Structure 1
Amino acid sequence: MDDRPTPHLIELFDNQVDRFPDETALIVDGARISYRELRDRARTLAAQLVGAGVNPGDTVACRMAGRADTLAAALAALAAGAAYAAMDPAMPEYRIGQMLANLQPAVILADGESTTSGAATVVNPPAPGAEPATEWPDGWRQVDGDSTFHIVYTSGTTGTSRGVLIPHRAVINRLQWMWETYPFQSGDTAVWHKSAALVASPWEMFGALLQGVPTLAVEHETVLDPQALWRTLTEVGATHFLAAPALLAGLAEEAAADPARPCRLRFLSTSAESISPELVHTLHARFPRAVVVNMYGLSECASNVTVYDTAALAPSASKVPIGRPISGCSVLVVDGRLRPVPIGVEGEMLVSGACLATGYLGEDELTAKRFITVDPGDGQTVRMYRTGDRARLLPSGALEYAGRTDDQVQVRGFRVELGDVQAALELHPEVSKAVVRSVSGADGTELTAFLEGDSVDLADVRAFMQQTVPQFMLPSRYLVLQRIPLTASGKVDMAALDELESGPATADEEAHVAPRTATEEMIAGVWTKALRRESVGVHDVFFDIGGQSLMAARIMSQLRGSFGLALPIRLLFDHPTVAELAAIVDQRLHEELKSMQSGG
Structure 2
Amino acid sequence: MESGQHTLIELFEGVAARFPDRVAVTADDRDLTYRALDDRATALARRLREKGTGPGSRVGLLAPRTSALAVGLIGILKSGAAYVPVDPGSPQERISWTLEDSHLTRLVTTPELAAELGELKGIEIVLADDSATAAEPEGTGTGTGAQPDGTGTGTERPGAATGTEREGTGTGAEGAGVGADDLAYVIHTSGSTGVPKGVQVEHRQVVRLFGVTRDAFGFDERDVWTLFHSAAFDFSVWEFWGPLLFGGRLVVVPQETARSPQAFHELLRRERVTVLNQTPSAFARLAETDARAELPLTELRLVIFGGERLEPAALRAWFTRHGDQLPRLVNMYGITEATVHASYRPLTTADAEVPGISPIGAPLSDLAFHVLDDNGRPVADGTPGELYLSGAGLARGYLDRPELDKERFLELADPDGTVRRCYRTGDRVVALADGDHGYLGRTDDQLKIRGYRVEPGEVEAVLLADGAVSAAVAVAHSYGDHDVRLLAYVASDLTGRDLAPRLGARAATLLPPHLRPSAYLVLPELPLTLNGKVDRVRLPEPTADTVHAPIAVETDGTPHLTDTERRIAEIWRTVLDLPEVDTESDFFDLGGTSLSLLRMFAATNDAFGTDLDITVLIDGATVAALARHIDAAL
**TM-score normalized by the length of structure 1:** 0.91
| Gap change, CA 1:560 and 1:393, over 3 Å in 2 | same
Alignment of 1:108-257 (within 5 A): 108-114=107-113, 115=117, 117-128=120-131, 130=133, 131-135=135-139, 140-184=175-219, 187-257=222-292
In 2, the alpha carbon distance for the partners of 1:52 and 1:549 equals 43
Structure 2: gaps spanning 5 or more residues: 141-171
In 2, the alpha carbon distance for the partners of 1:572 and 1:206 equals 28
| Gap change, CA 1:329 and 1:117, over 3 Å in 2 | same
Alpha-carbon offset, residue 346 of structure 1: 0.4
Local SS of the residue matching 1:50: helix
Local SS of the residue matching 2:353: coil
Local SS of the residue matching 2:93: helix
1:61 is matched by which residue type in structure 2? Answer: G
| Gap change, CA 1:358 and 1:95, over 3 Å in 2 | same
Alpha-carbon offset, residue 554 of structure 1: 2.5
More off after superposition, 120-129 vs 325-334: 120-129
| Gap change, CA 1:561 and 1:251, over 3 Å in 2 | farther
In 2, the alpha carbon distance for the partners of 1:446 and 1:212 equals 39
The answer to whether the aligner puts 1:359 opposite 2:403 as a matched pair is no
CA contact (8 A) 1:477 1:545 kept: no
CA contact (8 A) 2:427 2:443 kept: yes
Alpha-carbon offset, residue 337 of structure 1: 1.4
Match of 1:464 in 2: 506
More off after superposition, 263-272 vs 279-288: 279-288
Local SS of the residue matching 2:120: coil
Alignment of 1:56-67 (within 5 A): 56-67=55-66
Q: Which of 570, 577, 582 pairs up with 1:532?
A: 577
Local SS of the residue matching 1:113: helix
In 2, the alpha carbon distance for the partners of 1:558 and 1:542 equals 18
| Gap change, CA 1:164 and 1:45, over 3 Å in 2 | same
Alpha-carbon offset, residue 506 of structure 1: 4.7
In 2, the alpha carbon distance for the partners of 1:112 and 1:286 equals 46
2:139 is matched by which residue type in structure 1? Answer: E
More off after superposition, 80-89 vs 282-291: 282-291
Alpha-carbon offset, residue 494 of structure 1: 2.7
More off after superposition, 60-69 vs 165-174: 60-69
In 2, the alpha carbon distance for the partners of 1:3 and 1:43 equals 26
Q: Which of 319, 329, 333 pairs up with 1:296?
A: 333
Match of 1:558 in 2: 602
Match of 2:155 in 1: none
Alpha-carbon offset, residue 295 of structure 1: 1.0
More off after superposition, 239-248 vs 514-523: 514-523
More off after superposition, 267-276 vs 546-555: 546-555
Alpha-carbon offset, residue 503 of structure 1: 6.9
In 2, the alpha carbon distance for the partners of 1:109 and 1:519 equals 44
1:282 is matched by which residue type in structure 2? Answer: A
More off after superposition, 421-430 vs 136-145: 136-145
**1:23-47 CA distance string (max 9 Å, x none):** 1011113211101000010000000
More off after superposition, 448-457 vs 40-49: 448-457
Match of 2:453 in 1: 415
Seq. identity, %: 31
Match of 2:519 in 1: 477
| Gap change, CA 1:543 and 1:333, over 3 Å in 2 | same
Match of 2:631 in 1: 586
Alpha-carbon offset, residue 445 of structure 1: 2.5
1:530 is matched by which residue type in structure 2? Answer: V
CA contact (8 A) 2:23 2:31 kept: yes
Match of 2:143 in 1: none
In 2, the alpha carbon distance for the partners of 1:310 and 1:483 equals 46
The answer to whether the aligner puts 1:350 opposite 2:385 as a matched pair is no
**TM-score normalized by the length of structure 2:** 0.86
Local SS of the residue matching 1:140: coil
**1:208-253 CA distance string (max 9 Å, x none):** 1121111111112201101001111101111111011122122222
**1:161-215 CA distance string (max 9 Å, x none):** 1101011121111122232221135643111111112212122111111211111
In 2, the alpha carbon distance for the partners of 1:43 and 1:182 equals 31
Local SS of the residue matching 1:48: helix
Alpha-carbon offset, residue 478 of structure 1: 0.6
CA contact (8 A) 1:512 1:537 kept: no
**1:374-418 CA distance string (max 9 Å, x none):** 112221100000000000000232010111111101000011111
In 2, the alpha carbon distance for the partners of 1:99 and 1:538 equals 32
CA contact (8 A) 1:332 1:376 kept: no
Alpha-carbon offset, residue 126 of structure 1: 4.5
Match of 1:594 in 2: none
CA contact (8 A) 2:183 2:200 kept: yes
| Gap change, CA 1:64 and 1:545, over 3 Å in 2 | closer
More off after superposition, 455-464 vs 36-45: 455-464
C-alpha RMSD of matched pairs (Å) = 2.6
CA contact (8 A) 1:57 1:148 kept: yes
In 1, the alpha carbon distance for the partners of 2:395 and 2:450 equals 23
2:224 is matched by which residue type in structure 1? Answer: T
| Gap change, CA 1:503 and 1:120, over 3 Å in 2 | closer
CA contact (8 A) 2:107 2:126 kept: yes
| Gap change, CA 1:121 and 1:384, over 3 Å in 2 | same
In 2, the alpha carbon distance for the partners of 1:539 and 1:315 equals 40
| Gap change, CA 1:80 and 1:568, over 3 Å in 2 | same
Q: Which of 306, 322, 344 pairs up with 1:307?
A: 344
In 2, the alpha carbon distance for the partners of 1:185 and 1:126 equals 28
In 1, the alpha carbon distance for the partners of 2:197 and 2:490 equals 25
1:240 is matched by which residue type in structure 2? Answer: V
| Gap change, CA 1:213 and 1:510, over 3 Å in 2 | closer
